[in-house]
Amino acid sequence: MCKEEDKDESIIVHIEAFRQMLLRCFSALGIFLIPMLFISPKCLNFLINLLLRDNNVSLNYFSPVEVFLIQIKLAFILDVIFCFPYLARQLWKFFAPALYEHERKFIKSVVLASTVLFLLGLIFCLFVIMPLIINFGISFATKSVNAVLGVSNVVNLLSWLVLAFGIMFQMPLVVYFLIKSSFVDYKTFENLRPYVIVVLLIFAGILTPPDIISQILLFIPTYLLFELGLLFSKVRMK
What would the pLDDT profile of 38-76 be if each residue is shown by its tens digit? 999 999 999 888 888 777 778 888 888 999 999 999 999
Structure confidence at residue 3 (pLDDT): 54
Label residue 174 exposed, middle or buried (CB < 10 Å: 0-12, 13-18, 19+). Answer: middle
* pLDDT (tens digit per residue) in 79-137: 988 888 888 888 888 877 777 777 778 777 778 888 888 889 889 888 888 888 888 88
Closest CA to 173 of 229, 220, 109, 132: 229
For residue 34, what pLDDT band results from cuts at 50, 70 and 90?
A: very high
Closest CA to 189 of 158, 232, 159: 232
Region of 182 (left: φ > 0; alpha: ψ -120 to 50; beta: rest) is left
Whole-model pTM: value is: 0.78
* Domain ranges for the chain: 1-98, 101-238
C-alpha–C-alpha distance, residues 55 and 140, integer Å: 13
SS3 per residue for 13-63: HHHHHHHHHHHHHHHHHHHHHHHHHHHHHHHHHHHHHHHHCCCCCCEECCC
